[in-house]
Amino acid sequence: MADGFCFGEGPRWFEGLLWFSDMLGEAVHTVTLRGALTTLPLPGHAPAGLGFRPDGSLLIVSTERREVLRYDGESVVPLVDLSGLVPADLGDMVVDPQGRAYIGSQAFSGGVIVRVDPDGSAEVVAEDLDFPNGMVITPGGDTLIVAESTGRRLTAFSIAADGSLSERRVFAEGLDGPPDGICLDQQGAVWAAMTLANAFERIEPGGTVTDRIEFDDRVAIACTLGGPNRRTLFMLTATSAYPQRLVGARLARLDATVVDVPGAGLP
């Protein structure tokens, strides 16, 4: 669908467009189903996770600055600085129906998830994670699933009415590769970008892989379900799993395919 950008992350389907971050390109892009690309420049920021609040405003994770930005359709402004709360740079994010944002701090061990509430307050809601990465929230808003990349597992938490996380449990472990970006379908399975396996896999609770899309020499980075009836799987790939090796390159790509089971939950 699109190429010529640096390193795509955090794809989200919203109001008929596929939105994604270009982490090395310091921008957020949108793509139509016909492949038309637009760009929101973010000079000085390395964006990653994206999420939309109920009012339609876009939240953007600035990884190295460890802050969250807000875009209202006209201007980008800082929302909250998380540098005093987190042990490492920020990564992916999911926003719940109440507008609360859950953001991972990607320490290889001792990673955390921070919740940012609509009023801008923030607190750590999960600890001791192995590089928390992609996240989804199930329909009804009662469960959060996070990809622990270096742990090669998907981990689930129950979400309480106040937004706190509890009842930590394994959704799937012993995965084929480190999971990066993820999305959820209506049968409760997770599509995951398996970075070092160069593939996107559909994983059922317990770990059974039902579908696999291989990319040979391209690294799977992130995915989301959107498009008509949420049956289009959008897949971001790169030529390396390590962004620092790709500075100055424009070899990232966005592909899409239609799948059998529609998307569900958030994002």
Question: What letter does residue 56 receive in the DSSP assignment?
Answer: S
Catalytic annotation, pick one of 22, 89, 130, 180: 180
User: Do the beta carbons of residue 179 and residue 171 sit within 8 Å?
Assistant: no
Q: Which residues fall within 8 angstroms of residue 221, CB to CB, at 6 or more apart?
A: 7, 8, 9, 180, 181, 193, 195, 236, 237, 238, 241, 252
User: Do the beta carbons of residue 123 and residue 114 sit within 8 Å?
Assistant: yes
Q: Is 142 a catalytic residue?
A: no
Binding site annotation covers 9?
yes
In 240-252, which positions are buried (b, 16+ CB within 10 angstroms) versus exposed (e)?
ebebeebeeeeeb
Binding site annotation covers 229?
no
Binding site annotation covers 180?
yes
Q: How far is CA 163 from CA 39, 81, 125, 137, 251, in A?
A: 33, 20, 8, 12, 39
Known binding positions: 9, 133, 180
Residues with a catalytic annotation lie at: 180
Known binding positions for a divalent metal cation: 9, 133, 180
